[in-house]
Amino acid sequence: MTAPLAAPLPVPRLALKGITKRYPGCLANDGVDLAVMPGECHALLGENGAGKSTLVKIVYGVLQADVGEILWEGEPVRIDSPAAARKLGIGMVFQHFSLFESMTVTENVALGTGDPSPLPELGARIAEVSQRYGLALDPDRRISDLSVGERQRVEIVRCLLQDPKLLIMDEPTSVLTPQEAESLFETLRRLVAEGRSILYISHKLAEIRVLCEAATVLRGGRLAGRCDPREETAASLARLMIGADFAPPVREAQEIDRSGAARLAVERLSLAPLVPFATPLSDISFSVRAGEIFGIAGVAGNGQAELLGTLSGETLVAVPDAVKIDGEAVGHMGPRRRRERGMGFVPEERLGRGAVPDMSLADNALLSAHRTPGMLKRGLIRFSRTRAFAEKVISTFHVATSGPQAAARSLSGGNLQKFIVGREILQNPRLLIVAQPTWGVDAGAAASIHRDLITLAEGGAAVLVVSQDLDELFAICDRIAVMCHGRLSEAQAVRATDVEQIGMLMGGVFHLNEGEG
C-alpha cells in the first residue's frame, strides 16, 4: 500500500536569501535571510543602524541589493522600483515621510499610488478609510499644515488604499495614541486573518509581543536570530537586539524648589491660527522649575506644534510676558535671543528642522552651537573647533557614524536623534525644550536619551518634554499636563496619576478647577 504523500511545505510570500548591501565605509546588510509567510505578522527587530530600513527599502524597490535574491511567492523577482513592488502587491509605510508639503492629502495619495480616479472620488475614499481605521484626516488639507502625527496618518492611509498582499510598516505607532494604536492593531489582525502578510518594524517591544507571531533580529547588519516574540519577554527581545542586558533609567520622585522665578513660565498664552486649519491656543499656563522634567502629552494636531513655535521663538506673541525665561519676558524675542538666555531646543522633525540633511554633522553642530566658546573668531568660523565639537557629541552620546564629516541624512533615525539631543545638551542649557525625544528610536538609544535628560535636570536645568509616548512621559517626568484642542490641562504629579486618567484628558475630559500647571 502506497504511503500518503506528505503535505507540501507552505511557500513563503516573501523570501530573502543572502541579501548584502554596502555603502562607502558601511556594510548595511551582510548576507541576510528572511521569510514571511502568508497570513503572518512578522517583526523585524534591531537597534538603530542594524540594517532594518535598508533591508525593507530593498524589498520595496527603493534600493537594490549588491548580492542576494528575492523570491515572491516562490518565484525569483527583481524589484527595481516602488511601482514594481506595488504591482506585486507590496505596500510600505515609511518612518520618514515622502510627502509634498505644498499639495493636499488627496493629491499626495494620488501621486503615491498612481490612482487615476478623479480627485473628489479619491478624497471620499480617503475619508472613508481614515474614518474606518480611526486615523482622522481631512483630504483637502495641505501637508504643510499637518502635524507630524497627521502626516504619519497620511502614509498609513495611502498604503491601506492599495490593498496590499504584504504590508511593510516602519514604526507605524510612534506618533499614535494608545487608543489609535490599538485600533490599528485590530485592523492589522483583520488583514492577517484574510491571509495578508505584515512585515512590522517597531522599537516598542510590548506591541511586538502582542501583535507578531514571528521575528527576525538583526544586529550590525547581520542575522542575530529568529524567535516567536510571544514566547519572549521584552527584556529577552532587547537582549537579542543589543547583545547585552540593559537597564532603562528610572526617574525618582524629586523635591523641586518652587521659590523664586520659574526657569520657564507661560502665562495665559493665547494664539490665533496663523495658517488655515492650525489649532488656536487658548489661555495656556504652566511653569517648569530648575531641576524639573515637565511633560506635555496629547494626540498629534491638538496645538503642540503651535505651542512649540511660541516657546522656541519661531512664532512671536502679542503679549511679551506670556512667555518668560528666568523671569524675563521673551515672547517678543526670536530663537537666537532666547538661546542667548540659556534655552536649547530639539524639534520633532529630525531631518529638515533638527538637521540639514545634506550638510555634515560638523556643519549641523555649528547651526545651533556657534556661540560655543572658540567656535567663531572675529566673525569667522573655526572649522577645527566645529569638527571637535561634533566629535565630542559623537563620542559622548555614542552616535554610530563614520565621523563628523558624514552627512546628516546618512545616519539612522536613532543616531541622528542622539546627535541632535547631544548637540543641545553639550551647550549646557538652563532650559531644554524637547519634542518627541525618542520617536522611532530603539530601546537602547531611547534609554540613553532618557538618561541624558534626567542627568541634565539633576544638574539644575529645567526640561520640557512634549511627547505622545505615555510610557516615556511616565518614566522620566515629574509632572504631566495634556494638550487637547489648543488647551492645556492642569498639571499633575506623575506619582498622583495614571495612564487611564491621562488618556481621559487626551480625550478632552479636563477638570473644571483649572489652575497654574
- In CATH terms, the fold of domain 14-242 is Rossmann fold (3.40.50)
- Residue-level pLDDT at 140: 94
For CA atoms 20, 77, 45, 174, give the dihedral sign: positive
pLDDT of residue 516: 41
Note the pLDDT of residue 197.
96
Rounded Cα gap, residues 285 and 34, in angstroms: 52
Question: What residue has cell string 502665562?
Answer: 267
Q: 136: how many CB neighbours lie within 10 A of its CB?
A: 13
DSSP 5: P
Q: Same fold for the domain at 14-242 and the one at 249-342+430-517?
A: yes
Start-to-end CA span in the chain (Å): 82
Task: Return the domain boundaries, the chain.
Answer: 14-242, 249-342+430-517, 350-428
Place of cell 538661546: 339
Extract the C-alpha cell encoding 410. 546618512
Q: Which residues of the chain have pLDDT under 70?
A: 1-9, 95-96, 134, 147-149, 174-180, 245-247, 253, 259, 440, 508-517
Contact 218, 46 (CB under 8 A): yes
Given 3.30.1380.10, 3.30.1330.10, 3.40.30.10, 3.40.50.300, which CATH number is that of 249-342+430-517?
3.40.50.300
Strand duo 492-493 + 197-201: pairing? unpaired
